[in-house]
Amino acid sequence: MSVYNIYRMHKILVTGGAGFIGSNFVRYIYRNRPGWQIEVYDKLTYASDKSSLIGLEDRVSLTVADICDENSINEAVARNDLIVHFAAESHNDNSLASPWPFVNTNLVGTYRVLEAVRQYHKRLHHISTDEVYGDLSLNDPSKFKPDTPYNPSSPYSSTKAGSDLLVRAWIRSFDVQATISNCSNNYGPYQHVEKLIPRQITEIIEGRKPKIYGTGDNIRDWIHVEDHSSGVLTILDKGKIGETYLIGANGEKSNKEVVETILELMGKDSKDYELVNDRPGHDMRYAIDASKLNNELGWQPKFTDFKKGLQATIKWYEANRDWWLPQKNATEAKYKELGR
């Protein structure tokens, strides 16, 4: 299939655009596509925050609604040219405690988006995760590729895998004009404190020891959220309809390495952390092969020094306590119940 011409477009709908990755993408588009009008469509659950969009009001509007609401999503899709679908329930621990919201949002919600896109003949880009591929062993040199078989291990990753397959089916069966990207673990500003990196940073700021699941040997492939945003825009600009692209920055680090680096950068003893009960079904290693995106579309990450990216992220959380503090107490109370 040929490249879909987005240069005629100027109205973009970003579902989940008040969440961590979505709001960073909105900010990236705001800076790099000055002629575009951006509509954020977000339910504003606990993991979203409209304050993440402050300062963008001249070209960014916010629609507070659920993607499972057929009428609302249809109306939003109809008034835009291009839809980028970030909206998802995304926290593994929460999916283990209560799977239904993940089934509803990630599967039913994606179905609603697809049907709206199909009805109004709009261009769609679907955002997904490397977790759909399951995990790799620690001594396995291989990485995930677009044709790696799906092998999800949690309610979260299985519902994201299901949403990817829905998109692929709608492309093939109904000629929906869509692309898919699967990305590795994001870090950066505006991330909810339930996630690994901001949780540890905010724990240290508040004078407590960071906590690591199990032995801390589990490996994640980290990418700065701005690199994710630039990867998605590259796919929108140059990607072929029907194709899946993997976005990664060769940032493999063990959880223990990440926490030790955070401690070091914040002036603490790098071993001053606590090991806690492991998460059920905890994947061992993720690793992305982004060569298709690199070679076919010419994309390269800019934040290749993980330590520098982490230092900038720490500074953001230190400077924006008012943004994350309202989330913190409830998050730690929940983790305390789980013994983590």
Question: Domain containing 177 — which CATH number?
Answer: 3.40.50.720
Q: What pLDDT does 229 receive?
A: 98
Q: What pLDDT does 180 receive?
A: 98
Q: What pLDDT does 1 receive?
A: 39
d(CA 174, CA 171): 6
130 belongs to the catalytic site: yes
In a domain, 141, yes or no: yes
d(CA 278, CA 124): 37
Interval 228-251 mean pLDDT: 97
In a domain, 337, yes or no: no
Q: What pLDDT does 132 receive?
A: 96
Tokens 């401690």, residue?
A: 263
Question: How is residue 207 written in tokens?
Answer: 């004078």
State pLDDT tens for residues 139-178. Answer: 888 999 999 999 998 999 999 999 999 999 999 999 999 9
- Order of strands, sheet of 219-224, starting from the edge strand that comes earlier in the sequence: 185-187, 219-224, 252-254
Interval 282-294 mean pLDDT: 94
CB atoms within 10 A of CB 166: 18
Question: How is residue 50 written in tokens?
Answer: 């409209």
If pLDDT is split at 50, 70 and 90, which confidence band does 331 have? confident
In a domain, 180, yes or no: yes
- The one catalytic residue in 39, 42, 89, 131 is 131
Lowest mean pLDDT among 16-25, 56-65, 212-221: 212-221
Q: What percent of the chain has pLDDT over 70?
A: 96
pTM assigned to the model: 0.93
Q: What sign for the dihedral angle of Cα 34, 39, 44, 45?
A: negative
Interval 193-213 mean pLDDT: 94
Question: How is residue 128 written in tokens?
Answer: 């997904």
pLDDT at 8 over 70: no
- The one catalytic residue in 156, 187, 245, 286 is 156
In a domain, 198, yes or no: no
Largest CA distance in the chain: 57
If pLDDT is split at 50, 70 and 90, which confidence band does 7 have? low
SS3 (DSSP) at 51 = helix
Tokens 């995930």, residue?
A: 144
Residue 40 is part of which domain span? 9-192+223-252+281-303
- How many structural domains is the chain composed of? 1
If pLDDT is split at 50, 70 and 90, which confidence band does 280 have? confident
Which regions of 54-103 does DSSP assign to beta strands (E)? 60-64, 82-85
In a domain, 262, yes or no: no
Nearest to 283 by CA among 131, 62, 141: 131
Q: What pLDDT does 96 receive?
A: 82
In a domain, 233, yes or no: yes
pLDDT at 49 over 50: yes
Residue type, 95: S
Please state, rounded to an integer, the average pLDDT across all residues of the chain.
93
How many residues can be counted in the chain?
340
Question: How is residue 188 written in tokens?
Answer: 């950066």
164 belongs to the catalytic site: no
337 belongs to the catalytic site: no
Q: What pLDDT does 5 receive?
A: 59
Rounded to whole angstroms, what are the CA distances from 114 to 117, 156, 220? Answer: 5, 20, 30
Q: What pLDDT does 2 receive?
A: 41
d(CA 42, CA 32): 22
Nearest to 76 by CA among 8, 15, 21: 15
In a domain, 165, yes or no: yes
Q: What pLDDT does 281 receive?
A: 76
In a domain, 74, yes or no: yes
Q: What pLDDT does 158 receive?
A: 96
In the chain, the N- to C-terminal Cα span, in Å, equals 47
Nearest to 185 by CA among 310, 63, 14, 101: 310
232 within 8 A of 197, measured Cβ to Cβ: no
pLDDT at 228 over 90: yes
Q: Which residue did the predictor score with more confidence, 118 or 194? A: 118
Q: What pLDDT does 6 receive?
A: 60
- The one catalytic residue in 130, 135, 164, 194 is 130
Q: What pLDDT does 245 receive?
A: 98
